[in-house]
Structure 1
Amino acid sequence: MSVNVLFAASEARWSEYEGPMRDALAAVGVEAHIATDMAPGDVDYIVYAPNSDLQDFTPYTRAKAVLNLWAGVEAIVGNPTLHLPLARMVDPALTQGMVEWVTGHILRLHLGMDAHINAAPGTWKPKAPPLAFDTRVTVLGLGELGAACATALSQLGFDVAGWSRSPKEISGVTCLSGPDGLDEALQRADYCVLLLPSTSATENTLNARTLALMPKGARILNPGRGPLIDDDALLAALDTGQIDHATLDTFRIEPLPADHPFWTHPKVTVTPHVASETRAAYSSKTIAENIRRGEAGRPFLYLVDRQAGY
C-alpha cells in the first residue's frame, strides 16, 4: 500500500527534493505518493519547512508525523494546532557542514590569516601564532552539531570544554552543565561557539553579564541562532575590547538589514547563514528512514521534546 507524503515547503525546495526523496523512499522499500498539494485527510506524513504556508495542522487527522527539513524547530514547536510527533532534521551532511564552518573560522582567527592575506606588499612581520594546545575553546550546546564540533576541535589539539543544560559525556571534552557550569565554561573561553537551540531559556545567553565573564580579547562564533546573543551588549563588548572579534552566521532578522552595525563593524565578520545547510541528497535519506520506521510501527528518530522546545 502506498503512503501519501505532503511536501510542505517552497517551490524551490520541491524542485530540489522531488527526485532525491523518491529515490530515498524507494531505497528503503517504501512505495509513496509525494506531492505539494493533497487533501488533508489523505496525508500520512508531512515533510515540512517552518516557513511553509501550512500553519494549521488541525485537518491532518490521518497524518502520523511531521518531519522537519531543518535542524531548528523553534518556528513550529510552539504551534498550538500541532499534536503530531515532530522530528527535527539530523543528517551527516548537516553535521559535516557545521564542523567545517566552525573549524575553518576558528583556524582563520587562531592563525591570524586575515593579517597575512590583507598585508601590504613588502610587509614582513614573522610572528608564530599560538598553538592549539594553549588555546581554550568552549562550545555552548552539546547536541548533535555541538558535540561533533567539540570533538573535531579537540582532535585538532584545542583545549575544549562544552556546556549543556543536562550533563553530557564526550571523549576529549570537558563537559559542564547547569547555571554554574555556564559561568565556568565562559570564564575559560578564548573562543566561544554558540550551538544552542533557540528557546525562551536560551535567548540572550550572551549578554552584558556573561560577556564580561569571558577572558579579555575572547572571540565569538555564532552559527546557532541569532537570539542567543544580545546584539547591543555584544557591540558594546567589541567596542571596549572585552571581545576581540565576532564571526556571526545567524541573526535575529534575516537577511541582516543593510543598516545593521554588524555589517560595518571592524571586529565583526558576517556570513549569510551558510554554516550548515540541509542537502537534499542526504536529508532525504533521514526523511525516508523515518517514514519506513513509521510504517513498520517502530519509534521515530530525532523526535522533538515539545516541553524543552528542541
Structure 2
Amino acid sequence: MTVNVLFAAMYERWKTYENPLKSAFSAAGLDVALSTDLPPEQVDYIVYAPNSEVQDFTKFTRARAVLNLWAGVEDVVGNQTLKIPLARMVDHGLTQGMIEWVTGHVLRHHLNTDLHVNGQDGEWRKEIPPLAEHRGVTILGLGTLGAACGTALARLGFDVTGWSRSPKDATGITCLSGEDGLAQALGTAEILVLLLPFTPQTENILNAKTLAQTPKGAVIINPGRGPLIDDDALLNALDAGQIGHATLDVFRVEPLPRDHPYWAHPKVTVTPHIASETRPETAAQVIAENIRRGEAGEPFLHLVDRSLGY
C-alpha cells in the first residue's frame, strides 16, 4: 500500500531533500508518494521543519507521526494542535559534524592556536600548553550530541566532565547531574561546551552566578542554543577577565544583528550557525527507517518527551 508523506519545510529544503528521501524510501522497500502538497486528510507522515507554513496539525486526521528534520524541537514541541508522536532528528551526519566542530574548537583553545595565527608580528611567543589529560573540559548536556562529543574528547586524553539535568552515563566521562553537580562541573570547566536543549529550565543557564563558578579565564564554546546564555552576563564576564574567550555559533536572534556587541568584542569568535547541519543523505535514512517502523508497527526512534521538551 502506498504511504503518503508530506514534506513540510521551506522550498529550498525540498530541492536538497527530494532525491535523497526518494532513494532512502526505495532502499527501505517503502512505496511512498512524497509531495509538498497533499490533502491533509490523506497524509500518513509529515517530514517537518518548524519554520514550515504548517502550524495547525488538526487537519491531518490520519497522520501517524511528525518527523523533524532538525535536532532542536523547541519551536514545535509546545504546539497544542500536535497530538501525534514527534520524532527529533538524530543521525550520523549531524552527530559527526558536531563532533568535528566541537573537537576542532576545543583543540584550538587548548593549544592557544589563536596566539600564533593572529600574532604574526615577529614576536617569538613560546607558550607550551598542558597535555590534554591536564585540561578540564566540561560538556553541559549529555544527549546524543553531548555524549558523542565528550567521548571523542576523552579519547584524545582530555579530562572530561559532563552534566545533565537527569543522571546519565557515558564512556570516558565523569557524569554529574542536579544543582550540586552543575556547580561541580563548572568548577573544573577550563573549556566549557554547551550542548543542552533549549527549555524553560535551561534558558540562561550561563548567567552571572554560574559564569563566576568557572575557573578564571575559562573558555565558553556554544554550538547548542543561543538562549542558554545570558548575553549581558557573558559580556560582563569577558570584560572582567572571568571568561577568557567565547566561541559562539548560535544566538537568540539569527543572523546575529550587525550592531550586536559580540561582533566587535576582541574575546568573542562568531561563527554563523555552522557547527552541525542536517545532511540530507543521512537524515533521509533516519526518516525512512522511522516510516518503515511505523508501517511495521514497531516503536519510532528518537521520540520527543513532551514533559521534558526534548
TM norm structure 2: 0.99
> Which position in structure 1 is the counterpart of 2:277?
277
Q: Displacement of 1:3 after TM fit? A: 0.3
Q: Displacement of 1:127 after TM fit? A: 2.4
> Which position in structure 2 is the counterpart of 1:268?
268
> Which position in structure 2 is the counterpart of 1:296?
296
Q: Displacement of 1:123 after TM fit? A: 2.7
Q: Displacement of 1:125 after TM fit? A: 2.5
Equivalent position amino acid for 1:185 in 2: A
Aligned to 2:130, the other structure's residue is in SS state coil
Aligned to 2:251, the other structure's residue is in SS state coil
Distance 2:116 2:213 in 1: 31
Q: Displacement of 1:172 after TM fit? A: 1.2
Structure 2 gap segments, 5+ residues each: none
> Which position in structure 2 is the counterpart of 1:245?
245
Equivalent position amino acid for 1:131 in 2: L
> Which position in structure 2 is the counterpart of 1:3?
3
Aligned to 1:262, the other structure's residue is in SS state helix
- Alpha-carbon displacement from aligned partner over 1:29-81 (angstroms, at most 9, x marks no partner): 00000000110000000000000010000000000000000000000000010
Equivalent position amino acid for 1:12 in 2: E
* Number of aligned positions between the proteins: 310
Structure 1 residue ranges (4+ consecutive) displaced by more than 3 angstroms after TM superposition: none
Distance 2:66 2:154 in 1: 35
Superposition map of 1:1-310 within 5 A? 1-310=1-310
Q: Displacement of 1:166 after TM fit? A: 1.0
Aligned to 1:244, the other structure's residue is in SS state strand
Q: Displacement of 1:121 after TM fit? A: 4.4
Moved more, 114-123 or 287-296: 114-123
Distance 1:61 1:125 in 2: 66
Moved more, 184-193 or 126-135: 126-135
Distance 1:53 1:212 in 2: 42
Distance 2:40 2:171 in 1: 46
Distance 2:218 2:151 in 1: 21
- Alpha-carbon displacement from aligned partner over 1:245-291 (angstroms, at most 9, x marks no partner): 00000000001000000001000000000000001010000000000
Equivalent position amino acid for 2:185 in 1: A
> What is the CA RMSD across the aligned residues, in angstroms?
0.7
Aligned to 1:263, the other structure's residue is in SS state helix
* Percent identity for Structure 1 against Structure 2: 67
Distance 1:103 1:250 in 2: 17
- Alpha-carbon displacement from aligned partner over 1:92-137 (angstroms, at most 9, x marks no partner): 1100000001010011111111111122343322222221111000
Distance 1:158 1:33 in 2: 48
Aligned to 1:66, the other structure's residue is in SS state strand
Distance 2:277 2:172 in 1: 27
- Alpha-carbon displacement from aligned partner over 1:164-207 (angstroms, at most 9, x marks no partner): 11111112110000111111110111011000000000000000
Structure 1 gap segments, 5+ residues each: none
